[in-house]
Amino acid sequence: MKFYGYFRSSAAFRVRIAMNLKGITPDLAFIHLRRQEQTSPDYTRINPQQLVPTLVLDDGTALAQSLAILEYIEETHPEPPILPKDPAGRARVRSLAMIPACEVHPIQNLRVLGYLGQACGQDEAGKQAWARHWIDVGFTAYEASVAGHPKTGRFSHGDTPTIADMCLVPQVFNAKRFGNDLAKYPTLMRIFDTCMAHPAFDRAQPSQQPDAEP
């Protein structure tokens, strides 16, 4: 298998965590997003969405979209599980995962912030305020969903990492970059700290990647 990622990509970070947990060690390819390598003809042939990550299987099948890749990994490498066994638990985990993955990350993505600047005249401060706002909206919902919930454990759901944690943690890294006040989210941050003490999360963080830059 070959994994196309970028050290600072949140979506690639999610998949790196799952691969670390499950002991999957693909070949690595690095797509430099700031240099727009995602729009090159070669990469566009692999991933017409021009986004990372992409996981290319040994038979050449290219899988795009981190949530789809996480589900593929779970189905093909079931141990340790990253989704609960019960349908309601799985639905809760997917629903939590979708807060950062669907409600926050897509609207503070590189190309969206770029468009805000180029087409809407926003300066750097304006773009950062936009990102902080939507992170706050998502994190307020996440905090309310996990704080005091009977299914919340050491992690977002129970005492082992799930897809929800894999989507949450990279979003917290983004929030730190944008300067959000994270003290407003004590349960979310308690879960983040638990995750980052886990080697699978720690080894997946941007600074630990071979293509990391200061």
Ligand X SMILES: N[C@@H](CCC(=O)N[C@@H](CS)C(=O)NCC(=O)O)C(=O)O
Q: What's the min distance (Å) between Cβ of 154 and ligand X?
A: 25
What are the two backbone dihedrals, phi and then psi, of residue 152, each rounded to the nearest 5 degrees? -70, 135
Q: Residue numbers of the site for ligand X (CB under 6 A)?
A: 9-11, 33, 38, 51-53, 65-67, 101, 109-111
Q: What's the min distance (Å) between Cβ of 195 and ligand X?
A: 18
Q: What's the min distance (Å) between Cβ of 148 and ligand X?
A: 29
Q: What's the min distance (Å) between Cβ of 150 and ligand X?
A: 29
* CB-based contact 182:189 (threshold 8 Å): yes
For 44, other C-beta atoms within 10 Å of its C-beta total 12
Q: What's the min distance (Å) between Cβ of 164 and ligand X?
A: 14
Q: Residue 131 carries which DSSP code?
A: H
Compare residues 67 and 104 and give the one whose CB is closer to ligand X: 67
Compare residues 110 and 182 and give the one whose CB is closer to ligand X: 110
Compare residues 34 and 85 and give the one whose CB is closer to ligand X: 34
Compare residues 107 and 149 and give the one whose CB is closer to ligand X: 107
Compare residues 47 and 156 and give the one whose CB is closer to ligand X: 47
